[in-house]
């Protein structure tokens, strides 16, 4: 017989015995699918928020940051960090190219606002002190010089780690803080270079 099943009182039961009705049983697959769909939507929303407001995946194009970053390497850029902290010497930053803001460059910060920067035969001096640069292997260094200059307010002097292959502040001058929009924080591809960018 169709219809919902009920539990009937036995003939010997009290006239006040309760008769309960079972709740209709929903299709077995529907609740599982709806929970899965809800979790998927939430995950996508969180991922979109992180990518749009916090982290952006980018592909490195070119060799100017070798050996720290290779050509075609994939990294995450933190776009929010500089709202919480200031840019530091040694940070690897992504910025709009001053001569063509439609392009983005990635370089290492060498000089902060007010610093006196000069380069003598490849050796960088910051405020008359030689800068130790263990991220620039001898094979990637050059003998290029640059006259002393003072980094302007809200500006940063940036260089590529591969000095012989880099178009940087030696060519286009300091980068205004307004052009810097993120810090390279984590490499995720290729797998053998996965880890924190430094």
Catalytic residue IDs: 64, 107
Identify the helix (H) or strand (E) that includes residue 45.
Answer: helix 29-49
CB 66 within 8 A of CB 41: no
Identify the helix (H) or strand (E) that includes residue 112.
Answer: none
Assign residue 197 a region: left if phi > 0, alpha if psi is -120 to 50, beta otherwise? beta
Alpha helices in 103-184 (DSSP H): 169-172
DSSP per-residue string spanning 165-187: G--SHHHH-PEEGGGEEEEEEEE
Query: What's the rounded Cα separation, in Å, for the pair 178 and 35?
Result: 44
C-alpha closest to that of 187 among 88, 90, 67: 67
């Amino acid at each position: 017989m169709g219809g919902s099943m009920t539990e009937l009182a036995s003939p010997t039961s009290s006239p006040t015995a309760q008769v309960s009705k079972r709740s209709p049983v929903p299709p077995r697959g529907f609740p599982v699918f709806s929970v899965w769909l809800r979790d998927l939507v939430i995950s996508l929303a969180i991922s979109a928020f992180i990518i749009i407001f916090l982290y952006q995946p980018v592909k490195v194009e070119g060799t100017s940051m070798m050996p720290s970053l290779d050509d075609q390497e994939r990294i995450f850029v933190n776009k929010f960090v500089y709202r919480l902290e200031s840019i530091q010497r040694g940070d690897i930053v992504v910025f709009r190219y001053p001569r063509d803001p439609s392009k983005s460059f990635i370089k290492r910060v060498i000089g902060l606002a007010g610093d006196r920067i000069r380069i003598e035969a490849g050796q960088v001096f910051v405020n008359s002190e030689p800068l130790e640069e263990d991220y620039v292997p001898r094979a990637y260094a050059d003998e290029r010089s640059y006259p002393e200059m003072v980094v302007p307010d809200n500006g940063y002097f940036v260089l590529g780690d591969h000095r012989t292959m880099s178009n940087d502040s030696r060519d286009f001058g300091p980068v205004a803080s307004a052009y810097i929009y993120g810090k390279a924080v984590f490499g995720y591809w290729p797998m053998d270079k996965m880890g924190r960018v430094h």
